[in-house]
Structure 1
């Protein structure tokens, strides 16, 4: 009897277990969770990921002596000309993880689908932008194998030389831009241009123009050919076509967020930058800067004591640590270093300020140089130069109405600071420096390429180099991908701030 009861009990358990398993998979499947995503949204993620990180402010913008902080520690970098790998790694990690990973996946998903050919070529253009920024800042990088950990399980990618990378970037930009089909599918979900392929073409050719000009010192023959192709194709020449990430409350500008939170009172415009604008009575100084008169601390930087008056703005001397900044402020009769001019976080560096990738101002100035070099034949150097200056001054008013510069102010500036053919390259590239304010990677790249403006070396006594020429590789790469990193270092030069990238002559 006991055995019979045991068998009945066991059978009951088995029947119950069987009943529990019935429709188990169906019951445990989330029917409202997405199992696929339109690759157009991945392209949007890549575009948002192109926004420049905080490390770009500390290094790229700092190297070209526009904004610095006197503080040491986490935010130290170009103001001390010292290596801080916590910050030099930000661009690398952000771009590989958030941009290239997504563009690689988009391309893999749609390359066999003729109906999504435009999306694939848009992804190629964004990918080329990201790789150009990376190689310009670091030199040799994982290019052909970079970002293929998911698609091809390449977890330890080899590094490619910048010379090889640029050859392929030019090929990619030429092919992808030319292949955009105005009769093909319009990818209206695209957040950069809303699927406007004419603007995408202008963007692609603008990057090609930029790539060609990068070669001006190292390969002028190829540079001229590439520039001609870009200009003939049609580049961005008005602010309506600017390639910009439009930030909002959900997707804030990283640098704007940085300067409106814990670092609000820690970063200042530099003396070289402010002095240049002041000496030329440039109306952009009032549009960009704010001074908090009499401020002796961060909390005293209030609306009540702010001024945009250019005659009041003073820039912080380069290489000033906390002690040096205090001394410099005292010498100038300021209440404290909190009274040095800042980029106005309520206008030009808001959380929602756009991130500019390529602008009409930059393109007009590059074309002015190309015309000066005889690489293009249309227009005059002066016309392109004036158009570049105008475009940037007008661009500031598009960022915030409070930074609007009137047409009369622009005309007066150009009359008082006319184009001078005898110093054409210096004048053009110094304007490019101003025009690329807050576009750190591009300002840093063009400064090294052109040699302008002529900046005085950082005077900080503990500096590691006279001028920073590149960013250093992340420690994570050195420890995990050591063999390939060491091969790149052997070919390129020491992994320090002094080593130059290939096109920097």
Structure 2
């Protein structure tokens, strides 16, 4: 009897302990903490983080001679034909792999086998393809097939794919994803790019396909033509209502706008080639874009009262000047100091809440103009696409700020005075593409290398013995960041051995 009682007490004690442990376990579970993020949030985070970083202004925008600074140190880059790698501002590589590709990869993993989220899966495929296109255009060979798999698959040292292998995969990915999008599936209204609008996402995808096809114009004309034809058949962005752009506000500020309204407000200037192009053709976009703080002798002199948007007063900073030489250049131009040169208007065009345009009707119409001129498509005329591209870009100015709007009269007068002219079609089309891509550094840089236009004079800084960029040439790519060289050493060295020396002057595959 005593044994039975003891056994009963033991069983009872175990039951009580188990119950207590279960209670403690329940207490330790945070029922309000999510175990996984909704893929829509991951895609949105990726979109927002794609806004071009400050490093794009230092390199891309400087390489194509739209904005430069005479200052060195952390701002050294295209202005000095100098490779600055990481320094203090985050390179595009780090910004995109850590804050964009990581999120898109996670979103794809969570939606790939979920039929109810098919549209989200394919929207993410399209956006990820856009980002990979930027990365490979900037650097050449990059991690692609293994990129983003660090957390899920423990691929901590991804291999580099060849650019000539990446482009066909991007073309296939865009084609398949656009085809798979369906209005019969779940409409993902939470996405910040198009609020789940299937028609707009399809146009975005096919516009990227058009862009990818045109990239191949030098290296593989046949593939370029077939890709362009497929894109046009699918339907591309030809109206500003369908533009792909990132919206910013006080919580999600525009990176370049934040910099130009902060510590570097007095350090970046519109260039002489860019201002002269607009000024010499009476382009109304100059008044929309530029401001000059007349008589400014320092940054403190750049006051609202001193600011003028009068096109006739705009003067661009010469290329290839530093702090030791820019003062003499300013004096020669009749200015009080280099602070007196024209800038992009930070109170209109590059506010902290300014939009960042990724793919626009202006760009797409201009690519269609070139495709039609080459005979790759038969619809429309090159002249009409050309005019439509200019019109779309001028109308787009109002989306930055009401005070940057170009009037219909000024727009139409310019278009009439600057028709597409026989014998100079490619130069005209791609010069307009350069203007239409202002502030979209990666795209302006890529199309400049592809087309060779506008006609620019190579930056003379440090010549004739510049170690990074041979005399009389341009920067052709960005170099791999220090983090890759020091951590993913074997794979990056394999890519360098295959692609060519890791220098600013090395040409990527489609730029040969």
TM over 0.5: yes
Report deviation, 1:24: 2.8
SS in 1 for 2:442: helix
2: CA distance, partners of 1:247 / 1:321? 33
SS in 1 for 2:109: helix
Tell me the equivalent position of 2:276. Answer: 275
SS in 1 for 2:423: helix
Tell me the equivalent position of 1:238. Answer: 239
2: CA distance, partners of 1:415 / 1:209? 27
Report deviation, 1:86: 1.5
1: CA distance, partners of 2:254 / 2:96? 15
Alignment RMSD (CA, Å): 1.6
Question: 1:243–1:356: 8 Å Cα contact kept in structure 2?
Answer: yes
Quick check: 1:47 aligned with 2:47? yes
Aligned pair partner of 1:486 in 474, 478, 493: 493
C-alpha distance after superposition, 1:465-486 (max 9, x if no partner):
1310000001110111100011
Tell me the equivalent position of 1:450. Answer: 451
Tell me the equivalent position of 2:130. Answer: 129
Report deviation, 1:325: 1.3
Question: 2:60–2:441: 8 Å Cα contact kept in structure 1?
Answer: yes
SS in 2 for 1:356: strand
Report deviation, 1:380: 0.3
SS in 2 for 1:321: coil
2: CA distance, partners of 1:115 / 1:228? 32
Tell me the equivalent position of 1:13. Answer: none
SS in 2 for 1:503: helix
Question: 2:81–2:462: 8 Å Cα contact kept in structure 1?
Answer: no
SS in 2 for 1:146: coil
Q: TM-score, normalised on structure 2?
A: 0.94
Report deviation, 1:32: 2.5
Question: 2:53–2:90: 8 Å Cα contact kept in structure 1?
Answer: no
Tell me the equivalent position of 2:74. Answer: 74
Q: Which runs of 5+ in 1 are unaligned?
A: 1-16
2: CA distance, partners of 1:133 / 1:78? 18
SS in 1 for 2:273: helix
CA distance 1:106–1:18, shift in 2 (3 Å): closer
Report deviation, 1:431: 0.4
C-alpha distance after superposition, 1:42-99 (max 9, x if no partner):
1101111111101001100000000001100001100101100026961101111111
SS in 2 for 1:291: strand
CA distance 1:211–1:22, shift in 2 (3 Å): closer
Tell me the equivalent position of 2:408. Answer: 407
SS in 1 for 2:311: coil
Aligned pair partner of 1:473 in 476, 480, 483: 480
1: CA distance, partners of 2:410 / 2:36? 53
Report deviation, 1:393: 0.5
Tell me the equivalent position of 1:378. Answer: 379
Report deviation, 1:18: 10
2: CA distance, partners of 1:249 / 1:338? 28
2: CA distance, partners of 1:250 / 1:39? 21
2: CA distance, partners of 1:407 / 1:169? 38
Question: 1:76–1:82: 8 Å Cα contact kept in structure 2?
Answer: yes
CA distance 1:295–1:24, shift in 2 (3 Å): same
SS in 1 for 2:398: helix
How many residue pairs were aligned? 491
